[in-house]
Amino acid sequence: MELQPEAQKQEHEEAEKKGEIFIGVSSKIKNRTAYVDFKALQVKTLSFVAYILRQFIQLLEPYKDKIAKSVIQLMKDCPPDASGIRKELLIATRHIWYTKFKSAFIRHIDTLLNENVFVGTGVTSRETLRSLAYSILADLLHNVRSELSPKQLSKTIYIYSRNLHDQTISPNIQTMCVKLLVNLVEEIVKLENKIEARKLLVRLLDTFSKKILSINTAFPIIIKHYYSQKNQLLSQKSENFSNINPPKGYLDLEYAHPIRSCMGPFDASQDLIKEIGFLLKYLMSGCKLAVVEIKSCSIQNVKKEGEIEKDQSIQSEFNKEKIEKDQSIQSEFNEEEIEILIRVFREGLKCFNIYNLNNFDKDGQLKEGNETQKQAAFMQLNLPKDEKEMIDCFSALFITIEPYAFQEVLKSQISFFYEQILINLNLVNILQAFLARQTISPNFASILLNFLMEKLEELKEDNDLNCFVLIRLFKFF
């Protein structure tokens, strides 16, 4: 597996001198067909090694560094157009990473985080193997996350945040990306540089909030997909082309062709609503964890600087006051972070629509005259388990933040909060959770009461649902 054509070896040496990585096939290789066959043979050999590894792991232990180096070399040398060879290479690598040999790959993490090395530069490889490749790499990064440097943590966050916003990747793979990013929070908090740790946590919170935003933006597509799956069985498609739905826009033109040449963002999903629900659940828990750790990271930073102060024997009173002032600033959310929290609040409230799809029509518009909503305004219905967990998580997220930040968010979004309650009356549970929390209850009660007093005149209007909700909210006081 360590064998290389001389021309290929020279290309790697020249690239290494320049501080670069050579990927692909050297232009000096004349017989490309023989080269591809040679690499295929080497990958087959690696697959055999992966197969016998569990049974003979003690015998192969001295060679683990050589095996790791050979795997990385094969990833660099795999021809761009040989997607089948690369797929077999990835599967063999996954089996190797299931053993303790994965420790030998820690020194190669920077190379593995290079997409051109791990996924390849070929169009077919990028289109068909990206999901497989990143799920395999996520397993390794999860197991060795305690060994990652701050720079590697930052790059991992960048790569998997980018995949999280790639609509060509199915929701279940995106859920895997969220799980990995959430697992990295534990290691980010352990970083000695708390300022850098806080920046990484804010990046994660920003990523999660923007993903929730993108799901809400795609809600009309999700609702259409929901009704289309509800009305017809995908397994009973007919070859009669007259049954093909007409395109609804220029983006759907490819769907009308007898031979499909494209896929929609949710076509690969077996159960779209369930997968989106899981994704939202992990995104919300990720937001909650990030907010908690941002706050704890600031407290730890203050404590650490306080200990340094004790060790210093000579220090002026002016410097002490300045440090105390800096510490109080570091423990607060700045304007940019509050904007992210506002986005989490707005988009978090919207995402609860996924649990009430039957209240919307095929175009994503709220159905009028829904008696269920009017009844729910007076009597507490039993919430589905998933929606209840989401409401509890969402409530805990904003209860955790500092009171002044909570007031900034709610004061600017109380009107939007009320509009969302009219759409989904189960959100009243969030309002109750805020009022029950002693630290934020006085401020929130004041904000809510002022808003309700402004709405008092609307009780005269002929809008039953609006009146029912207003009366119920007044009853909290």
Strand, coil or helix: 367:
coil
Which of 325-329, 337-341, 402-406 comes out lowest in average pLDDT? 325-329
Q: With beta carbons less than 8 A apart as the criterion, state whether 459 and 470 touch.
A: yes
Contacts of 49 (CB under 8 A, 6+ apart): 1, 60, 67, 92, 96
Per-residue b/e over 201-222, b at no fewer than 16 CB within 10 Å?
bbbbbbbbbbbbbebbeebeeb
Q: What is the pLDDT of residue 259?
A: 53
3-state percent helix, strand, coil for the chain, nearest multiple of 5 = 75, 0, 25
Compute the average pLDDT of residues 137-156: 93
Query: What is the 8-class DSSP label of residue 365?
Result: P
d(CA 123, CA 136): 20
3-class secondary-structure state, position 180: helix
Q: What is the distance between the alpha carbons of residues 260 and 148, in angstroms, rounded to a whole number?
A: 43
Q: Comparing 50 with 465, which gets the higher pLDDT?
A: 50
Nearest to 383 by CA among 416, 412, 419, 356: 356
Q: Is the pLDDT of residue 247 over 90?
A: no
Among 10-19, 157-166, 258-267, which stretch is predicted with the lowest mean pLDDT?
Answer: 258-267
Phi, psi of 360 (to 5 degrees): -120, 150
- Residues 170, 177: Cα–Cα separation, whole Å: 11
Kindly report, residue by residue over 263-296, the tens digit of the pLDDT. 555 665 667 888 899 999 999 999 999 999 988 8
Task: List Cα–Cα distances, 473 to 215, 243, 344, 377, 429, in angstroms.
Answer: 30, 50, 23, 10, 11
The residue-averaged pLDDT of 58-84 equals 91
Q: List C-alpha distances in Å: 210 to 155, 204, 258, 347, 395.
A: 19, 10, 36, 9, 19
Residues forming a β-bridge with 366: 360
Tell me which amino acid residue 109 is: I
- The arithmetic mean of pLDDT across residues 133-160, rounded, is 94
Crossing angle (nearest 10°) for helices 272-311 and 219-231: 150
Calculate the alpha carbon distances from 427 to 15, 72, 184, 392, 433 in Å.
58, 51, 31, 10, 10
For the whole model, what pTM was predicted? 0.84
Give domain limits for the chain. 336-477
Per DSSP, 111 falls in state H
Please state, as a whole number, how many other Cβ atoms lie within 10 Å of the Cβ of residue 431. Answer: 18
- The string of DSSP letters for 131-149 reads HHHHHHHHHHHHHTGGG--
Q: Which residue has the higher pLDDT, 86 or 317?
A: 86
374-428 tens-digit pLDDT: 555 445 557 788 888 999 999 999 998 888 899 999 999 999 999 998 888 888 8
Backbone dihedral angles phi then psi of residue 380, each to the nearest 5 degrees: -80, 115
